[in-house]
A and B are shown apart, each in its own frame.
Chain A
Amino acid sequence: GDSVTQMEGPVTLSEEAFLTINCTYTATGYPSLFWYVQYPGEGLQLLLKATKADDKGSNKGFEATYRKETTSFHLEKGSVQVSDSAVYFCALSGANTGNQFYFGTGTSLTVIP
C-alpha cells in the first residue's frame, strides 16, 4: 500500500546550519506530496507542497523537490533559525489513495543558538 518513510529524529542543529530531512514514498500512480510543520502544543500547518514530478515546493526558506525517479521529497533549508524548531511531517495523497492522506512519523528538529 501507499506509505511515507521519514528519517528518524531527533535532529539537532546549530543556528545557520544546513537542514535536510529525508522523505521517501511508496505509491501507485502520481500522488501529491506535502510537508507539514507542527510547533509545540499546536496543530499541523502546511509548509509546502508539490503536485507533480520535478515540481519544487517552497515556503519560508524551505524547499522540497518531487523526485519521481528516486520517489523522494526531501526537505531542505539553507540556514536554520531557532524559530524553526518543530516537528516536520511528510505526507502524500492522491487519487489512488482515495484522497486519503498518508503521513510519515515526523522528524523533530531542535535548533540551538
Chain B
Amino acid sequence: SQTIHQWPATLVQPVGSPLSLECTVEGTSNPNLYWYRQAAGRGLQLLFYSVGIGQISSEVPQNLSASRPQDRQFILSSKKLLLSDSGFYLCAWNGRGDQPQHFGDGTRLSIL
C-alpha cells in the first residue's frame, strides 16, 4: 500500500535561518506531489505542486522554493525564514486523473 512520510513533525527556527522540509512517498510511482500551508485556524493554501522530477509549479510568490530531485521525494526550502512563514505545512500526493489526495502528518513550523 502507499504511504507518505513527512518530517520533521515539529520545527522551531529563528528568523533568517534556512529551512528544509522533506516528503517521501512509498508504494507508487510518478505521483503528483503537493505542498500546502495551513495558518492557525485557517484553510489550506497550495504552495507548490509537481507532476514529475524537476517539474515544479508555484502558486504564490514567496521566499519558499520546492524541488523534486527524485520521483517520490519532494522538498520545501527557504534560504531565510520570515515570521510570516510560521504555520502547519502539509505534503500530499495523488495519482493521475482526479484521484483523491493523500496527506502526510504535517510539520508544525514556528519562527521565533
Contact = CB atoms under 8 A, between A and B. Distances in A.
B98 A44 contact: no
Interface residues of A, number: 25
A62 interface: no
A55 to B, nearest CB: 13
Nearest to B97: A99
A44 B43 CA distance: 11
A17 interface: no
Q: How large is the interface on B (under 10, 10 to 19, 20 to 34, 35 or more residues)?
A: 20 to 34
A36 B108 CA distance: 20
Interface string B94-112: 1011101111111010000
A104 B43 contact: yes
Contacts of A101: 34, 46, 94, 101
B43 A103 contact: yes
A108 B41 CA distance: 9
Interface of A: 31-32, 34, 36, 41-46, 49, 51, 89, 91, 93-95, 99-101, 103-106, 108
